[in-house]
Structure 1
């Protein structure tokens, strides 16, 4: 089963008004597909943050497949 890294990102502004995406949390999730990994990670995020909706703490979610070399490291 593939391993995915799912990151929750928040858009923040610095003192000069420039925006940056900051990673709030990330999870490594094994799932059949990317959508399943994101769904599982959203549940974990909500549980850890004790919130009903992940969007209360993050603006977007990104997922990437981790290759086998990274999994063994």
Structure 2
């Protein structure tokens, strides 16, 4: 299994009128592949934020494999 860092990203409009990207949450997930990691992270994010749908608090998901393997 591989380890992935899954970030939930949101675009916001800052006080200066410029668009900025912020990370709503970052999770380390162990999964067979990036697709599985994304789905597991979505479920965990919804549980943490008490949501039915992850996209209510984030615009997109970024997934990166870490160098650590189990």
Q: Normalised by the shorter chain, which TM-score bucket? A: over 0.9
Q: Select the structure that is richer in strand.
A: 2
Measure, in 2, the Cα distance between the counterparts of 1:58 and 1:67: 26
| Total equivalences in the alignment | 69
How large is the Cα RMSD of the aligned pairs?
1.1
Length-normalised TM-score, structure 2:
0.93
Gaps of 5+ in 1: none
Partner of 2:15: 15
How far off its partner does 1:16 sit?
A: 2.2
Gaps of 5+ in 2: none
Partner of 1:64: 64
Length-normalised TM-score, structure 1:
0.89
